[in-house]
Structure 1
Amino acid sequence: MSHHLSGPNLRPPAGDARLDLTDVFAFQAPGRPGHTVLIMDVNSFAFDPGGQPHPYPGAVYRLDVDGDGDDRADVAFSFVFSEPRDGAQTVTVHYATGEQARSPEAAGDVVLRDVPVTFGAQPYVAEEGWLTFAAGLRSDPFFADLEGIGNDFTWTGRDTIADNNVIGIVLEVPDQILGNGPRIGLWGRVTVERDGRWVSVDRGAHPSLTAYFNAEDAKDEYNAGNPEDDVLKYRDLWVKVLEHTGGYTAEAAADALRTVLPDVLHFDRSKPAAYPNGRRLDDDVTDARLQMISNGRIQGDGIGPHTDLLPVFPYLGPPHS
């Protein structure tokens, strides 16, 4: 699967679906040259009949952007949701640069305050200066035959995610806000305050990494980590995984992992977005990961992208009933 249910034993991180980072996307804004779309999908409550749509109030949902290639945040957008009241909820957006972008708390300038979070079909689009923003319940754009993957790649022909919803956090910003050069790195993170300190309970950028590569007892540590440490901590372990799943040589496995370690989604905005250069909503990342772990022996699951994607902001389709 993508980054859904990224805690141990296919459970949400910290046991709470509201804290689950499910996907990260980056692509050029259609029909708006010089602008980039960033999307962070969270809250895999649709997997859990006892779940509910409201994001975790007070948690810091964050998109980190690296503009100089050192795998550390130079720009950060933090999103903090209010307590739900009578079914309604708002979100405040913070924008930070430099050292403030590396703070575990929501730091920097408040660029939007108390924006309504929508749970119906019509999104609320907020515009303030250079930022176009929306947050709310949307159709989950990820697509995969997860049942087939879990049954030793015996395909069912059914898209497990077809009727699921997520909370979509969508931004459209001028390119220069994210960095001077065309290349940026991007990852998402979710942190909560525990006993007076902020703890990262989920993080990631590339789809389907922790599900395939990390042992169950290593997932919490991975979610708490930082991309700058990924190569040192995980390359040798993940090389062994690829040797086992795909019959790679150690050298070939290490070379294949260069795309996903560190866990930063690189996007050269001078070139069209197509995973792994950024990620569009219709990129078949499931097929890409299946090909990677199998060394090309498994080409894909036969499931295609969803047809409810929008050609205009916020791009994610309306939520399912």
Structure 2
Amino acid sequence: MSDHISGPRALANAIADITDVFAFPSPDRANHLVLVMNTLPFAKVSNAFSEGLIYRFRLRPLTANAPGDRAPFSAGPEVGAEEFVFDCVFSPPSSAEGQPFEQEGTCTTPSGESVSFRVNDEDGGSGHGVRVFAGARWDPFILDAPAALKTVATGQLAFAELGAIYMDGKNVLGLVVEIDCSLLGGPTLVGVVAETLTRGTFNVRIERVGRPEVKNLMLGPKQFDPVNQDLEIRDLYNMEDAFHIQHGYEGAYRARLNANLAFWDGLDGRTDWPTNGEGHPLTELVLADYLVLDVTKPYQEKGSFLEIELAARQGRAHETCGGRAINDDVMDKFFTTLINAGNGPVISDGVDKSSRPASRSFPYLSPPNPNPPEKPEHH
């Protein structure tokens, strides 16, 4: 599920719905960082990218806060913070009768230089320290989503020893931007977030994603929230700047997270994250909703997700590159951290890998399924 269908607007505007975001050092090219944004749940091979959207990656240098701080890192001041933005836009698709569509894309680097590429071209386009691919890809989805939702609905862990990927074989529209780390000017730690925005003179953020499942499993459930039990909060959250939450809705997000994080923590009958009357200890970390990467460390296929943040919380040096690799079963880390804080057995949803793992070379994402399952009616 990760970030598929994460609110009413995403459901109504599926073309702008970000399903997943990944960020990791290239396993293929030293000193390069790979950024991946997947959009459009249940995409078909014949689907084009929207010419009405900006597909944006934002990266910010991070500074460590005091050891043990509930928000381990700072992304700089609200105004004037250093930031590196990679924007991709697309031409309207064109096709001759009976022929596959053709579509051109352009990626603009932080210094304003442009790189052109053609959609569904496996080689992508490159220049100015950037290589870009865009096209239909197999959805690298590692979660038994119905079991996760049943857990929320029943208050009982519903994972089986052998889970199943929901409607496996789905496709997405994948956008891969591989960048030379020298474009970032030398920071060690960076925060990464992906966004879709309206294109034109007035840009409205439709969706943004940092870590997986913040919206659907941490902000989505309403029944535990004592303050805003009837409020669908995810669209408001999607419009926020990931690096600086507006004060207007901060209280609503905190109330929802405090309640839902306590629900997850209680599923094993124990409290591993005592609140001490100050809200849930993970709420501030969740609200700092961006992937944290150490660009000086090598690619790691498994186990780097959340490692930097949790190390900072524990006052120890991190050991991995952090971020999120495509083949990493991050949902087991997600459930284990929330439910037992790593103090007990791994909480697994019974799915530990994609049926089409990513490769270790550009464009990383697996080719699309020519005959994907049909989108279910209720979506």
CA contact (8 A) 2:115 2:128 kept: no
Structure having the higher Rg:
2
Equivalent residue for 2:118, pick from 109, 116, 119: 116
Matched residue type, 1:2 = S
CA distance in 2, matches of 1:4, 1:14: 9
Equivalent residue for 2:244, pick from 229, 232, 241: 229
1:302 is aligned to 350
Matched residue type, 2:165 = D
CA distance in 2, matches of 1:230, 1:4: 22
What secondary structure sits across from 2:244 in the alignment?
helix
CA distance in 2, matches of 1:96, 1:117: 22
Shift of 1:275: 0.8
CA distance in 2, matches of 1:209, 1:147: 17
Shift of 1:214: 2.0
Equivalent residue for 2:105, pick from 73, 86, 91: 91
1:102 is aligned to none
Count of residue pairs the alignment pairs up = 299
CA distance in 1, matches of 2:86, 2:215: 24
Shift of 1:93: 0.9
**What are the superposed Cα offsets for residues 260-281 of structure 1, whole Å, 9 maximum, x if unpaired?**
3311111012334421211111
1:241 is aligned to 260
Note closer, same or farther for the CA distance 1:94–1:278 as it changes in structure 2 (3 Å cut): same
**What are the superposed Cα offsets for residues 11-33 of structure 1, whole Å, 9 maximum, x if unpaired?**
x6161211011111111112422
Shift of 1:179: 3.7
User: What value does the CA root-mean-square deviation take over the aligned residues?
Assistant: 2.6
Q: Does 1:35 align with 2:84?
A: no
What secondary structure sits across from 1:237 in the alignment?
helix
Q: Does 1:256 align with 2:279?
A: no
TM-score (norm. length: structure 1): 0.84
Equivalent residue for 2:212, pick from 172, 195, 207: 207
CA distance in 1, matches of 2:36, 2:82: 17
1:104 is aligned to none
CA distance in 2, matches of 1:218, 1:255: 21
Moved more, 267-276 or 307-316: 267-276
CA distance in 1, matches of 2:275, 2:244: 20
CA contact (8 A) 2:240 2:246 kept: no
Greater share of strand residues, 1 or 2? 1
1:131 is aligned to 130
2:59 is aligned to 65
CA distance in 2, matches of 1:270, 1:54: 35
Shift of 1:309: 1.7
What secondary structure sits across from 1:157 in the alignment?
coil
Equivalent residue for 1:317, pick from 360, 366, 373: 366
Greater share of helix residues, 1 or 2? 1
CA distance in 2, matches of 1:244, 1:302: 21
Equivalent residue for 1:166, pick from 156, 163, 172: 172
TM-score (norm. length: structure 2): 0.72
CA contact (8 A) 1:116 1:124 kept: no
What secondary structure sits across from 1:255 in the alignment?
coil
Ranges in structure 1 where 5+ consecutive residues have no aligned partner:
98-108
Note closer, same or farther for the CA distance 1:231–1:243 as it changes in structure 2 (3 Å cut): farther
Moved more, 66-75 or 179-188: 66-75
2:22 is aligned to 25
CA distance in 2, matches of 1:4, 1:178: 30
Q: Does 1:291 align with 2:291?
A: no
Shift of 1:258: 4.6
Note closer, same or farther for the CA distance 1:227–1:92 as it changes in structure 2 (3 Å cut): same
Ranges in structure 2 where 5+ consecutive residues have no aligned partner:
63-74, 96-100, 152-157, 221-230, 267-272, 307-321, 371-379
CA distance in 2, matches of 1:171, 1:62: 10
CA distance in 2, matches of 1:7, 1:26: 23
